[in-house]
Amino acid sequence: MKPLFGKPPKPIDCSICGRPIDVHGAWNDGHNAWPVNDGRCCTNCNSTVVIPRRIMDLVRKENLQ
Ligand SMILES: [Zn+2]
């Protein structure tokens, strides 16, 4: 597979667990870590930390209404 931007993707560190974010082809950007923080995070942290946090915030918001 040919890299999109001329050079091979370089892994960046997850802003939650600090490990390099898993690279999928030319996609090395991981996931949006919001609302945990405003960086990027790996797939593992996305599904175990970020998504539960988003659901929790949603439930809390609904309970306030
Ligand atoms: Zn992580």
Extents of the domains making up the chain: 12-65
Q: Is the pLDDT of residue 3 over 70?
A: no
**15 contacts 40 by C-beta, under 8 angstroms:** yes
- Report how far ligand 1's centroid is from the alpha carbon of 23 (Å): 13
- Report how far ligand 1's centroid is from the alpha carbon of 10 (Å): 16
Kindly report which listed range (2-6, 15-19, 47-51) carries the lowest average pLDDT score.
2-6
- Report how far ligand 1's centroid is from the alpha carbon of 33 (Å): 9
Q: Which two tokens stand for residue 21?
A: 């974010």
**Chain segment 30-61, per-residue pLDDT in tens:** 999 999 999 999 999 999 999 999 999 999 99
Q: What is the end-to-end Cα distance of the chain in Å, rounded?
A: 49
- Report how far ligand 1's centroid is from the alpha carbon of 16 (Å): 5
Q: Which two tokens stand for residue 28?
A: 């090395």
- Please give the model's pTM, rounded to 2 decimal places: 0.74
Q: Which two tokens stand for residue 65?
A: 């209404």
According to DSSP, the residues that pair with 40 across neighbouring strands are 32
Helix (H, G, I), strand (E, B) or coil at 41: strand
